[in-house]
Amino acid sequence: MVKKRLIPLMLLKDGRLVKGKQFSSYKDVGDPVKSAAVYNSQLADELIILNIGSSSIQPLLDILDELSKVCFMPIALGGGIRSVEDAVTLIRHGADKVVVNTLCKRMPTAISRISELVGRQALICAIDVRWDEELGDYVVYTESGKCKETISLNESIQTMSELGAGEIFIQSIDRDGTAQGYDVELASRVVEIAPKLPVIAAGGCGDYRHLKELFLDADVEAAACGSIFNFSDSNPIRAKAFLNNYDIKLKKV
């Protein structure tokens, strides 16, 4: 059986790692390569690095060589992928997976082409949502939370699945950086819509108990963690020690 994963989520801006709250007010939290090396030694299961500072993949390429020298685990990169070529370039330079979001909406044909070229296993489709009280439903956003989309969450996930997504990354903008816990309902709903795709939940983790809630109440394959590792002395090793008490199947080293 494939194990559940803990994935540090790193945001790249102007060559530095940052962390914000609800997709704004970003603070500097360190050097990307050094942090990746630390996460590697703390036995994280995978890394996701999202470039939020520019609309090209250049900042990712700038760190990729160094990153793959210190990181002996799968690395997923995204943010600024605007074409099939961008995705293929990242894979060729050592990324194990690419993360696409806005491209899924603007150029769906590119997504299926990426899936064909690099393989479904290397393609993570990401969705950022905010809860809309009036609508009584989640609303999908692109362009790092700046652009509101008309497509529904369900439709969005179904389309991604048909286009050849290998995994779905679902992020709650409302919970981002709040350390109040994952939106477990949101995660469960995504698993229900796409039962054949591994789901990675993001947004809100501030405590090991939040990880426990997520894994026990939603059938997600992975939890992405930002604030918890950025702003506390928590780390993947301790998180796993805690989760082991609840029979959550994690990587054994």
Of the pair 92, 133, the CB lying nearest other proteins is at 92
- Beta strands 123-132 and 5-13 are unpaired
The string of DSSP codes covering 220-235 is -SEEEESHHHHSSS--
Stretch binding other proteins (CB under 8 A), from 50-58, 117-125, 141-149, 156-164: 117-125
Buried b / exposed e across 90-99, counting CB within 10 Å, b at 16+?
bbeeebbbbb
Q: Is 164 in the site for other proteins (CB under 8 A)?
A: no
Binders of other proteins: how many residues, by CB under 8 A?
28
Helix (H, G, I), strand (E, B) or coil at 56: coil
- Residues 178-207 contacting other proteins, CB under 8 A: 196, 198
**Least distance (Å) between residue 74 CB and other proteins:** 6
> Which residues, numbered 66-105, are part of the site for other proteins (CB under 8 A)?
68-69, 72-74, 91-96
Alpha helix segments (H runs only) across the chain: 32-41, 58-70, 84-92, 102-106, 108-118, 153-163, 184-193, 208-217, 227-230, 236-243
Q: Does 244 contact other proteins by CB under 8 A?
A: no
CA 105, CA 140: separation in Å to the nearest integer? 10
Q: Is position 247 an interface residue for other proteins (rule: CB under 8 A)?
A: no
* Contact letters for other proteins, residues 15-54 (x by CB under 8 A): -------------------------x--x-x---------
d(C-alpha 212, C-alpha 215), whole Å = 5
Tell me the closest approach of the beta carbon of residue 211 to other proteins, in angstroms.
Answer: 16
Contact residues: other proteins, CB under 8 A: 1-3, 5, 40, 43, 45, 68-69, 72-74, 91-96, 119-121, 166, 196, 198, 221, 251-253
